[in-house]
Amino acid sequence: MGVESSSSALTIVKSTGATGSRDWGLWANLGAVAVALASVVALQWPGQRTGGVNLLNPTAAEQQEALQLGLVARSPTLGFDNLIANWAFLRFVLYFGDEEARNQTNSYELNYQYFDLLTKRDPLFTQAYLFISTAVSFNQGKPEKAIELMDRGTSALSPQIDPQAYLLWRYKGIDQLLLLGDVPGSIYSHQKAAEWVQGTPDQDFAPLYQQTAEFLQKNPDSKPVRIWAWSDVYYNAVDKKVQQRAEAELLKLGATKRVNDNGQVIFTFPTSGNPN
């Protein structure tokens, strides 16, 4: 976006016409650019100003970050949509990577908020979508929300726009299968992945995706892999709400919950539903 801004500034300087109108246009455009740059600085300033809070009180820092994300989401972009999307992704990386703080807050509550802002501002940000499954589906236990975010990408992107756009269908298909048990949806997503990867440098993956779709058509019982997926969510969750969601899903799949002598929660399944 910075490059685009620089090009825009160059265009303004090089514009020609009557001296009066040119000067007025120059100042008006420079004013708009200045306001936009000031807005960008403002986005960074609160995080710098409250570094002590981030270190000493992760809960307060998370609450402040949520407020800041809400403010950015409601503010005019002034044409800097891509820059705001980049900012949201960088903030997500810092938030998600701060394992110590997340363990103290017992929450990855802001993951969805980051990607909601990001995908609205730049639905063509292919690489960002690849983090949604881990961040939203698994760490937050919200596969439905993750699918909604991925849908923004599959609607906006194409192989012509980005040769790696096929990955969105692949990741979407995996979440549909593992966590939602949406076999028809997963079949369609894998078929689209096979279609979109054709003609790209990764087209050797096309047979794999098509074979996955065909396998699911012949073997529509997704219960074993769903048991594995929700067990993974449960045992790796730091948020109690996520753990409760995972437990509810496992019980719906036929699990029996027990606590052993060491206080460890164990889920057991009927032999026919055990993935092992």
For residues 174-203, give the mean pLDDT. 96
Burial status of residue 31 (CB atoms within 10 A of its CB: 0-12, 13-18, 19 or more): exposed
pLDDT in tens, 42-91: 444 444 444 434 555 889 999 999 999 999 999 999 999 999 999 999 99
Indicate the residue type of 206: A
Task: Inform me whether the pLDDT recorded for 244 exceeds 80.
Answer: yes
In the prediction, which pLDDT does 239 show?
87
- What average pLDDT does range 231-259 have in this prediction? 92
Burial class for 271, CB neighbours closer than 10 Å (0-12, 13-18, 19+): exposed
Residue 35 · residue 83 · CB < 8 Å? no
95 and 114 Cβ atoms separated by less than 8 Å:
yes
124-152 confidence digits (pLDDT tens): 999 999 999 999 999 999 999 999 999 99
Tell me if residue 131 falls in helix, strand or coil: coil
The residue that leads in pLDDT, 30 or 120, is 120
The mean per-residue pLDDT over the stretch 91-96 comes to: 95
pTM greater than the 0.95 cutoff:
no
Say if residues 72 and 84 touch (Cβ distance below 8 Å).
yes
Q: One-letter amino acid identity for 188?
A: Y
Q: How far apart are CA 54 and CA 45, in angstroms?
A: 13
Name the residue type at position 268.
T
Cα Rg, the chain, nearest whole Å: 23
Beta bridge partners of 258: 266
3-state DSSP assignment of residue 202: coil
Is residue 23 very low, low, confident or very high in pLDDT (cuts 50, 70, 90)?
very low
Q: What is the pLDDT of residue 55?
A: 52
pLDDT of residue 56: 57
